[in-house]
């Protein structure tokens, strides 16, 4: 790696850390919090628009599936989307070492409970007909892709659109690259060689070829080309239709104060 590339890598990493600190420094309180299951992490923060919502948006937060990172840093994005007319739900989910089976079970539980959650969260008379977007960032992007490829939400109301922001789109690749200081192997509870069946079930890249066309059509990804936490190649090498945002780093894509926010907003809303 040449000197300019090394300096650019370092600058982007510093910018990512500063943006994350900024998001954590301005948390937005939800309008209400609802339970969707029996565990302590089975809660959803609700951010309501001031008028009748035009779309429901389920926002899955990132943080490499680790216990130390919760949904707090996603709340500025949730509030801004609510200001734009979306009924936004930000769920928590079980995280930590070896959490993969439980985390995916939480996605299935969320899908089953979502119609009732939307009724309780906003306007019961409009909830059944609201178009739904399932969006996720980073590890939450992985979960959004898994949601779409698994067909969660199909057959119960409008088919959800899937919008993955800087997603960990390929678990096997991520495990072998050691991204997030071994985050994928920690989440899965082992390597792809040790747990081939678990990776085959949880990895969107592995499941994509067998996903029905109607599911694949709903899925899009967006990634910044200065991302130093999840390499942009996770998206550019993926068959998922994608948008690459030049100059954006990992947290630019979830920061409403970022200069790249208009591109992210267009991606989420169209």
Instruction: Let me know: does 205 contact 173? Beta carbons within 8 Å.
Output: yes
Instruction: Let me know: does 132 contact 110? Beta carbons within 8 Å.
Output: no
Instruction: Let me know: does 54 contact 129? Beta carbons within 8 Å.
Output: no
Return d(Cα 4, Cα 11) in angstroms, integer: 10
Q: Which of 179-188's residues contact partners 24+ apart within 8 Å by CB, and which partners?
A: 179/229, 179/230, 179/231, 180/64, 180/229, 183/64, 183/65, 183/66, 183/139, 186/64, 186/65, 186/66, 186/97, 186/98, 187/64, 187/65, 187/97, 187/98, 187/99, 187/100, 187/103, 187/139, 188/98, 188/100
At 63 the three-state DSSP class reads coil
Residues 38-53 have a mean pLDDT of: 95
pTM over 0.85, yes/no? yes
Return d(Cα 182, Cα 115) in angstroms, integer: 36
Cα 91-161-46 angle, rounded to 5 deg: 25
The whole-chain average pLDDT of the chain stands at 92
pLDDT digits (tens, 9 = 90+) for 133-159: 999 999 999 999 999 999 987 766 668
At 207 the three-state DSSP class reads helix
The CATH H-level (homologous superfamily) assignment of domain 3-269 is Alpha/Beta hydrolase fold, catalytic domain (3.40.50.1820)
Break the chain into its structural domains and give their ranges. 3-269
pLDDT digits (tens, 9 = 90+) for 66-121: 999 999 999 999 999 999 999 999 999 999 999 999 999 999 999 999 989 999 99
């Amino acid at each position: 790696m040449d000197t300019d590339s090394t300096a650019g890598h370092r600058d982007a990493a510093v910018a990512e850390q500063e943006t994350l600190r900024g998001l954590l420094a301005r948390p937005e309180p939800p309008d209400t919090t609802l339970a969707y299951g029996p565990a302590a992490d089975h809660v959803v923060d609700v951010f309501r628009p001031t008028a009748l919502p035009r779309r429901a948006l389920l926002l899955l937060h990132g943080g490499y599936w680790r216990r130390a990172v919760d949904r707090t840093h996603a709340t500025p994005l949730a509030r801004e989307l609510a200001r734009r007319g979306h009924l936004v739900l930000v769920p928590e989910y079980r995280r930590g070492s070896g959490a993969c089976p439980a985390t995916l079970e939480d996605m299935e539980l969320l899908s089953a409970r979502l119609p009732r959650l939307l009724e309780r969260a906003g306007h019961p008379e409009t909830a059944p007909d609201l178009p739904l977007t399932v969006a996720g960032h980073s590890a939450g992007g992985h979960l959004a892709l898994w949601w779409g490829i698994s067909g969660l939400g199909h057959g119960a109301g409008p088919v959800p659109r899937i919008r993955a922001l800087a997603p960990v789109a390929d678990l096997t690749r991520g495990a072998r690259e050691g991204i997030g200081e071994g985050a994928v192997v920690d989440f899965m509870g082992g390597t792809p060689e040790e747990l081939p069946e678990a990776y085959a079930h949880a990895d969107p890249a592995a499941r994509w070829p067998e996903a029905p066309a109607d599911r694949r059509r709903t899925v899009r990804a967006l990634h910044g080309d200065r991302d130093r936490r999840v390499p942009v190649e996770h998206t550019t090498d993926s068959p998922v239709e994608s948008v690459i945002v030049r100059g954006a780093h990992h947290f630019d894509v979830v920061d409403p104060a970022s200069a790249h926010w208009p591109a992210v907003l267009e991606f989420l809303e169209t």
